Amino acid sequence: MNSLRIARNELRRLTGGTLPKLAVAAIVLVPLLYASFYLYANYDPYGRLNKLPAAVVTADAGAQGRNIGREVTDELVKSGTFQWHEVSAEEADQGVRDDRYSFAITIPRDFSSALLSSGEFKPQQATITLTTNDANNYLSGTIAKQVAEQVRKTIAEKVGSEAADKFLLGFSTIYGKLSQAANGAGQLASGSGELLNGQRQLADGASRLATGSTELSAGLNTLRDSTAQLPAKSKELAEGAGQVAAGNARVAQVGSTLAAGSAELQRELDNVGQRLAQRLREGGLSEPEVQHALSVLRQLRSPVDQANAKVQEANGQLTALADGSRRVAEGAAQLAGSAPALTEGIGKAATGAGQLKDGAAQLNTGEQQALSGTTRLQEGATQLKSGLDQGLTQIPNPDDPTRTATANTIADPVAVNSVGQASAGTYGAGLAPFFIALATWIGAFVLFLLLRPLSTRALTAGASPVRVAIGGWLSAAVLGIAQVVVLFGAVIWLVGIPVAQPAGAIGFAVLVSLAFTAVVHALNALFGAVGKFLGLVLLVLQLVSAGGTFPWQTIPDALYPLHVVLPMSYAIDGFRHLLYSGASLKILGDIGVLLAYLVGGLLVSVLAARKRRMWTVSQLKPELSL
C-alpha cells in the first residue's frame, strides 16, 4: 500500500457523508475565520480614530492680547483626528470615568501667560493635563499620550518660532543701533583726529608760552632790578629839569628883549633911509645920486640886518628851548610822580611773570598729558570704530522671509525624512504576517482533530513505515494547502492586504503549511492524544517568542532560544519579506529552516510508524472494537 493510497483512503473516510464533508470544510475555513476576520477588524484602526470620543477643556484666560489655549482648541477640533467635545472640567473628568470619553485634554487658565513668560524673562513652564482611564481601554490611553505629546510639540514649535523670531528681530535692532554706533564711532574717530591735531598745536603753543613766559619773567626781573632807583633818579631829574627850565626861561626873556630892540633898530634904520633920501632930494641931489647914497646905506646896514636876523632866529630858538625845557621839566615832574607806581607795577609784573612762568610750565605739562590722552583717545576711537565694524559683520541681520525661516528652523531644528525600504501601509497589514503564520499553525492543529496521523489498516497490513508516515501526512498536507489558498484569497481580495509578491507569498504559505502539518503530525503520531496537547503548548511558546507584534529583541532573554529554534519565527520573517518588499536572499534561510522542520517532522513520523508496528493488547482493543 503506497502513501498516496493511504492518504486517499483517509480523505474518503472523512468525506463519507454530508456531515463529515461539512466538518472538513469547516476545518479548511478555520485559518480563514481566525486570520481574515481579525485582519479585517483591525485593518486600519488609525484611520477611524475620528470615531473615538475625546474631551477638551479650555480654561485659558489669555495673556498679552492672545489666547493660545483657544487657538490650540480650535486647531484640535478643526483637525478631526478624534471626535472632539469641548466641555467643562467636571464633565470631562466624569466622562472619562464613565467611558463616555476615551481621554481628556485640559488647558489651564494660565496657559498663555506661562507660554509668553519667557519674553519677559520670567520663565514659567506651561502645562497641559492629560486625563486617561485604562479601565476603558489601555491603547486609548497610549494613543492619548502620543496625541498630547504631539500637541505639546506643536505648541512648543509655534511658541519657539515666535520667540526665535523676536530674538532675531532683536538682533536686527541691535544691528541697526550698532550700525549707528559704528557711524558715531567713525565721527568720533574723525573728530578725535582733528582734536589731536589741535591738541598738538595747543601743546606746541603751550611749550612756546612756557619758554616765552620764562624769558619774560627773566626780563621783568632784570627790569625790576634796573628800575629800583628810578624814583630817586627821576626826582633828581625833575629837580634839575625845573632848574634848567627856569634858566632857559630867563635866557629866553633876555633874548626876547634883545630881539625886540634889534627889531626896533631895524625899523629905525628903515626910517633913517627914507629921511636921508628925502633930505638928499631936498638938498638938490639927483635921483641917481640919491639911489647911490641909499645903496651905500644898504651896504653899510647889511651887517646890522644880518645881526638882526640872527638875533630873531636865536630868539625863536631860545623861546623853543624855554618851551621844551618847560615841557621836559613837566615830564620829568610827571615821571618823578609816576616812577614809584611804575616801579611798583614793574615789581608786580615781575611777580606775575613768575607766576605766569609757573602756570605756563604747568600748562605745558598738562598739555603734554592732554596730548598723550588725546592720542590714546584717537587710537581708542579708531579701535572702537574698527571693532564695531567687525562686530557689525558678525551680527545677523536677516530679511523678513529669512528671519521667519530661521525662527521656524530654530523652533523645529530636526525634520525626520522617513525612507521606507518596505512599508506595510496599515496596522492590519503590519500584523498580517503574524496572524497568517498563527492561523496556519492553528489550521494544522485542528486538522488532526479529525485526521488520524497513522493509518492502522496500513500498519496492520505490514506497509512500510515510510509509506504509512507520508500517507498520514499527505492527507493533512492537502487540506493544509487548501486552508492557506483560501486564507490568502480572502486576505488579498476580501480584506485588501497588499502583497508585494503574491505568487511567492502563496508558495511560501504552502511551504509553511506543509512544515507545520509535518510538525503537528509528528507530535500526534509519536505521542497520540498527548501530542495534541504538546501542539497547543508549542503554539503558546511560539506566540510569546516569535516576535509577531513587537520586535523579537524586546522579549525576555530567556525566550531568545525559543525564537531561534521554533519554526513560526521563520514563517513570520518570510511572510514579512514577501508581503512588503518581495523576495530577498534572507528568505532562503527561512525556507531552509522550514524545509528542515518539514523533513524532520516526516522523519519523526516515520520513527513513530515504525514504533507502532509493534502492537500491544491495549492498542488492539480499540481497533477490535472498530
Task: Evaluate whether residue 20 is within a structural domain.
Answer: no
Q: pLDDT averaged over the chain? A: 75
Q: Terminus-to-terminus CA distance in the chain, angstroms?
A: 21
Same domain (yes/no): 344, 445 = no
Same domain (yes/no): 205, 167 = no
Greater pLDDT, 587 or 117: 587
For residue range 480-492, list pLDDT tens digits in order: 898 888 888 887 7
How far is residue 260 from each of residues 115, 303, 311, 582, measured CA to CA in Å?
A: 128, 17, 9, 163
How far is residue 326 from each of residues 223, 246, 323, 389, 600, measured CA to CA in Å?
A: 29, 8, 5, 83, 165
Same domain (yes/no): 471, 574 = yes
Cα–Cα distance measured from residue 395 to residue 167, given in angstroms and rounded to the nearest whole number: 12
- Model confidence at 143, pLDDT cuts 50, 70, 90, reads confident
Last residue of a domain, one of 404, 421, 438: 421
Last residue of a domain, one of 386, 421, 456: 421
Same domain (yes/no): 416, 445 = no
Same domain (yes/no): 536, 448 = yes
Domain that holds residue 120: 46-171+412-421
Bridge partners, residue 84, by sequence: 54
Same domain (yes/no): 207, 111 = no
Task: Evaluate whether residue 122 is within a structural domain.
Answer: yes
pLDDT at 417: 47
CATH number, residue 62: 3.40.1710.10
Cα–Cα distance measured from residue 68 to residue 255, given in angstroms and rounded to the nearest whole number: 128
pLDDT at 418: 46
Same domain (yes/no): 318, 241 = yes
Q: Is 513 exposed, middle or buried (0-12, 13-18, 19+ CB in 10 A)?
A: buried
Last residue of a domain, one of 403, 421, 439: 421
Task: Evaluate whether residue 17 is within a structural domain.
Answer: no
Greater pLDDT, 423 or 157: 157
Task: Evaluate whether residue 181 is within a structural domain.
Answer: no
Greater pLDDT, 530 or 450: 530
Same domain (yes/no): 213, 116 = no
Same domain (yes/no): 346, 493 = no
Domain count across the chain = 3
pLDDT at 405: 67
Cα–Cα distance measured from residue 593 to residue 599, given in angstroms and rounded to the nearest whole number: 10
Same domain (yes/no): 371, 285 = yes
> Which of 124-128, 356-360, 473-477, 552-556 is predicted most confidently?
473-477
Cα–Cα distance measured from residue 432 to residue 500, given in angstroms and rounded to the nearest whole number: 13
SS3 track for 327-362:
HHHHHHHHHHHHHHHHHHHHHHHHHHHHHHHHHHHH
Backbone angles phi, psi at 426, to 5 degrees: -135, 165
Task: Evaluate whether residue 41 is within a structural domain.
Answer: no
Q: Which alpha helices (DSSP H) does 227-284 contain, by range?
A: 230-282
Cα–Cα distance measured from residue 467 to residue 454, given in angstroms and rounded to the nearest whole number: 10
Enumerate residues 6+ apart whose C-beta is below 8 A from 107.
56, 57, 58, 59, 60, 69, 72, 73, 128
Greater pLDDT, 579 or 335: 579
Three-class DSSP category at 58: strand
Task: Evaluate whether residue 54 is within a structural domain.
Answer: yes
For residue range 405-418, list pLDDT tens digits in order: 665 555 555 444 44
Does 440 have pLDDT greater than 70? yes
State which H helix or E strand residue 54 sits in.
strand 53-58
Task: Evaluate whether residue 28 is within a structural domain.
Answer: no
How far from chain centre, in Å, is Cα 540?
56
pLDDT at 15: 59
- Give the residue from 572, 424, 436, 423 showing the smallest Cα distance to 491: 436
pLDDT at 500: 78
pLDDT at 624: 43
Would you tell me how many other CB atoms lie within 10 Å of the CB of residue 384? 18
Is the Cβ–Cβ distance between 435 and 35 less than 8 Å? Answer: yes
User: Look-up: residue for cell 626873556?
Assistant: 253
- Of all residues in the chain, what percent carry a pLDDT higher than 70? 69
- Give the residue from 601, 612, 578, 626 showing the smallest Cα distance to 473: 601
Is the Cβ–Cβ distance between 242 and 329 less than 8 Å? Answer: yes
> Which of 19-23, 70-74, 147-151 is predicted most confidently?
70-74
Strand 83-86 with 53-58, pairing: parallel
Does 130 have pLDDT greater than 80? yes
Q: Mean of the pLDDT values across residues 275-304?
A: 75
Same domain (yes/no): 259, 325 = yes
Is the Cβ–Cβ distance between 521 and 473 less than 8 Å? Answer: yes
Same domain (yes/no): 259, 116 = no
Would you tell me how many other CB atoms lie within 10 Å of the CB of residue 256? 15
For residue range 59-86, list pLDDT tens digits in order: 888 887 788 888 888 888 888 888 889 8
For residue range 194-212, list pLDDT tens digits in order: 777 877 777 777 778 778 7
Task: Evaluate whether residue 156 is within a structural domain.
Answer: yes
For residue range 28-46, list pLDDT tens digits in order: 666 666 656 665 655 566 6
- State pTM to two decimals: 0.59
- Model confidence at 570, pLDDT cuts 50, 70, 90, reads very high
- Model confidence at 376, pLDDT cuts 50, 70, 90, reads confident
Is the Cβ–Cβ distance between 158 and 411 less than 8 Å? Answer: yes
How far from chain centre, in Å, is Cα 132?
38
> Which of 239-243, 298-302, 589-593 is predicted most confidently?
589-593
CATH number, residue 292: 1.10.287.950
